[in-house]
Amino acid sequence: MSISPIRRPVRPSPVFLGVVAAAVAGGVVAWTAGSPTDVSARIGVFVLVLAGWIVTVCLHEFGHAYTAYRAGDREVELRGYLTLNPLKYSHPLLSVVLPVVFIALGGIGLPGGAVYLRQGMFAPKVQRRISLAGPAANLIVAIVLLVVIRLFGMDGDHLVFWWGLSFLAFLQVMATVLNLLPVPGLDGYAALEPSLSCDTRRALANFKGYGILILVAFLFVPQVNSAFFGAIYWLFGLSGVPEIYAQYGNFLMRFWL
């Protein structure tokens, strides 16, 4: 009698593993760069940060999907959300392409809607847990990166690599904060939504598709931009990693400047 193999719901896709490999390759190039002025330094940091960001987007959405799966939503597996494949997301443009453009142009870790979940099938407490699982993934990545940089990246060696990794960590701090804002369409609002009245939810539902656009518009207001980035750098600095590390990483990533 043959025994069928145990099916694993979590199966990292070749696409995800390829992006991870690209991030590692970028890290290797940045690590071996002789000087911040070398072309290899800029290329390495660019690939490290961009591919690393896509990896963390996948982890963010996987956090939502896996938490929903554990709570009983089996559709997330059928939709391919547990494979960490960004091509399976409901809105690849909003989830990957648009945030990547904003990182490249302005160093903004923009959140994006990605996976479709049947939130209505869960109790409010579970809905909040599902909503907060994504930002929690960004927070965990930020803490891990900052601890590694603080322990191993402060001796002055391989600074190009550590600057790039610092900027990636900075983006994780920013993504955590942005996602927790109570703006319709973002995770912070989704966690708050079960506590709102039906009338309020209906009124705000029309703004969910525009939440990110409203957020971006506010970030282009000079006073808001200055206050926001000041707060993110303050949170980043709590780790003990110098702010200048992230600033240099941001500069190196945008190699066309």
Distance CA(126)–CA(147), nearest Å, equals 30
Look-up: residue for tokens 């980035």?
229
Question: 219 phi and psi, to 5 degrees?
Answer: -70, -15
The DSSP call for residue 87 is: G
Q: Determine contact, residues 86/57, Cβ cutoff 8 Å.
A: yes
Clarify whether 61 is annotated catalytic.
Answer: yes
Q: Which token pair is 106?
A: 């302005």
Check 61, 75, 77, 243 and give the catalytic one.
61
Report DSSP state, residue 118: -
Q: What is the dihedral angle through the alpha carbons of 56, 60, 66, 69, rounded to the nearest 10 degrees?
A: -140
The beta strands (E) that lie in the chain are given as: none
111: left (phi over 0), alpha (psi -120 to 50) or beta: beta
| CA 43 – CA 47 distance, rounded (Å) | 6
Catalytic residues: 61
